[in-house]
Chain A
């Protein structure tokens, strides 16, 4: 087993400078010191869980660069680069591409007219790529990703603006296990998730709004924001170790633990990762 490898970006230039989701309000700015402390604590928790962290250089004017989950979708040595729906974030794309290339990934891009927000909206569970669409990513983009990688893609519509990325309402833990917040999906999405994933651990609305689903999985350890006690109880019952670390400063921008990380060696739940090793 190789050591879990995660890309993060220090929050040097993080702040609420625009509003592109219902969480963001320029009248409710973040505290730079608190943000730095929370980010360092998350990093420490991940390292304690066994992960190696590599850093993307922060850049002024790109406050959301800190949310590295949205940089790309990683599949083996391929990084399918994101193309952000909001122009405010599109400046991140060349920095992400340069870093991934420098770190040995083959960077591929989707057509210009397709929006795709990387691991924020595309998560492997087993051999299937579950992909959130409508709010940020295009359904058609996911199909193109599936065709280019040769994997099965199951697009699910996101219906709650507070859960604008799939990784805010769904988190694969293992091949056949995932956390989800049912309120973020419609009947079709729920039916699909329930038919393809053997063990779906539901999260209640209150904890979902604490970003319970925006969890980082390292081995059998699940790291989330604070305020998700019911989920943590459920996870422990299913044999996972749980870690909570406060990330409220990032919740102000609509992100939490998972959003702050990009798993570079494949998520724990991705079947291709084990097949490759």
Chain B
């Protein structure tokens, strides 16, 4: 990975990468590069010239006349060597992506990109127009980049948002991605810059997350909690409530289940019919969650239930009381759902998109579906911690490309209990000083 300067006047100079040893640049080669052996030849030249390469992307033409396309990262130990290699492979048609303006193609239909569209990452991205580099706004992975040709303003755009006539970036030429710094303090979470593991000591990790919550609150950032119903099932609801009351949580994204079980807990003292204090099922308890939903529906929503004094405790109650911006996104298996739940997935996605813009720290707890959904939307520079008893949730997030996510495999209840304790200790220390 590399960092390149966002110099607005010229293509960025390749920069040294101490941890991988070398200078690096991306080149694009297109055409019948397989049939003509141009691609193997270019790769051979790179190697023979003392460089190394990585094929970052390759698209093979389907029909006989279709061109193929490869995006190759070229690396060499010195800048001089890199420039020699780039010159040598340039003769064979491999062109550094940052020496060209980006290619714009007009969208021919609503709701779909033109073929060959540039597919975004969640990392800071710039596009070149008229020899100048422009930062892409609203960075999000798996989108396209739309440009206003009159102002050169560029932003990410979801497939469904495309309108006929939009000018979309195609290919990799004139696009550069600036990955996050690989400094030791990448996330402020030095302790867990490696992959997810069940073997890591939890204490330090939780302490660091507590520090991040405090830092975010005092630094004017915004913390988003993405939570699953296990927060309630495991009896951790009150821990989360304490964080909300203390002002550490700015937003909550969840589904119908978390809110329903939380409200059931508040109205009936059970979660899915189980009395949490004793861990036993109560008679007709299985109906409690449906009765809870029904009651909230009759009142017209969670906020009204709080205002009318029906809902007097729990996570959702605290959210309303402390102005936490909550968003409930539905799914096909939902009972009810609660009136606050957005049942149109695309509308929910758009709503989430608009509400994550100012988020600086995201804590995902015990939900795969919502974690992946939010992970998809967040730019790479937002710190994300994913806590789940199931390692596959964290792995899934990483596989989806949310590399900024650090994972903690642990049960929710002890995690939240320890987190609240650490946060309160830190707050006490601050008060003490």
Contacts and interface: CB of A to CB of B under 8 A. Distances in A.
Interface of A: 127, 133-134, 138-140, 142-143, 146-147, 150-157, 188, 191-192, 196
B95 A140 contact: yes
A152 B92 contact: no
Contacts of B30: 143
B31 interface: yes
B31 A150 contact: no
A143 B65 CA distance: 11
Contact of B93 (A138, A188, A191, A196): A138
A140 B95 CA distance: 9
28 contacts: A134-B91, A134-B92, A139-B31, A139-B38, A139-B91, A140-B95, A142-B31, A143-B32, A143-B93, A146-B31, A147-B31, A147-B67, A151-B65, A152-B32, A152-B35, A153-B31, A154-B35, A154-B36, A155-B32, A155-B38, A155-B92, A155-B93, A156-B36, A157-B41, A157-B92, A188-B40, A191-B37, A192-B37
A155 B36 CA distance: 6
A49 B35 CA distance: 35
Contacts of B31: 139-140, 142-143, 146-147, 153, 155
A139 B93 CA distance: 5
B333 interface: no
Contacts of B38: 139, 155, 188
A143 B92 contact: no
A29 B65 CA distance: 45
A140 B32 contact: no
A230 to B, nearest CB: 29
A147 B92 CA distance: 17
B35 A192 contact: yes
Given A154-B32, A188-B37, A192-B37, A146 B93 contact: no
Interface string B38-73: 101100000000000000000000001101000000
A143 B93 CA distance: 8
Contacts of B64: 127, 152
Contacts of A153: 31-32, 36
Contacts of B92: 133-134, 139, 155, 157
A22 to B, nearest CB: 19
Given A134-B91, A157-B92, A146 B41 contact: no
Given A134-B91, A138-B93, A157-B92, A143 B67 contact: yes
A146 to B, nearest CB: 6
A138 B93 CA distance: 7
B263 to A, nearest CB: 60
A270 B54 CA distance: 38
Nearest to B67: A147
Contacts of A140: 31, 93, 95
Interface string B82-103: 0000000001110100000000
A14 B64 CA distance: 42
B240 to A, nearest CB: 56
Interface of B: 30-32, 35-38, 40-41, 64-65, 67, 91-93, 95
By Cβ-Cβ distance, the 6 closest A-B pairs, closest first, are: A143-B31, A139-B93, A140-B93, A188-B37, A154-B36, A188-B41
A142 B37 CA distance: 15
A234 to B, nearest CB: 27
A195 B91 CA distance: 23
A268 to B, nearest CB: 21
A155 B33 CA distance: 9
A150 B35 contact: no
Nearest to A146: B31
B67 A146 contact: yes
Contacts of A191: 37
A146 B40 contact: no
A23 B41 CA distance: 29
A18 B31 CA distance: 35
Nearest to B31: A143
A95 B93 CA distance: 29
Contacts of A157: 41, 92
Which of A127, A152, A157 has most chain B Cβ within 10 Å? A152
A228 B108 CA distance: 56
B91 A146 contact: no
A211 B88 CA distance: 29
Given A138-B93, A143-B31, A147-B31, 20 more contacts: A133-B91, A133-B93, A134-B91, A139-B91, A140-B95, A143-B30, A143-B32, A146-B65, A152-B64, A153-B36, A154-B32, A155-B92, A156-B36, A157-B41, A188-B37, A188-B40, A188-B41, A191-B37, A192-B35, A196-B35
Nearest to B33: A143
A215 B64 CA distance: 29
Contacts of B95: 140
A157 B41 CA distance: 10
B37 A152 contact: no
A93 B370 CA distance: 62
Nearest to A140: B93
B65 A152 contact: yes
B86 to A, nearest CB: 14
A276 B333 CA distance: 60
Nearest to B91: A134
Nearest to A139: B93
B36 A192 contact: yes
Contacts of A147: 31, 67
Nearest to A147: B67
A150 B65 contact: yes
B361 to A, nearest CB: 45
Contacts of A146: 31-32, 65, 67
A265 B98 CA distance: 40
A147 B31 CA distance: 8
A151 B67 CA distance: 9
A188 B45 CA distance: 12
Nearest to B93: A139
Contacts of B40: 188
Contacts of A192: 35-37
A141 to B, nearest CB: 9
B103 to A, nearest CB: 11
Contacts of B41: 157, 188
B394 to A, nearest CB: 43
A49 B37 CA distance: 37
B200 to A, nearest CB: 50
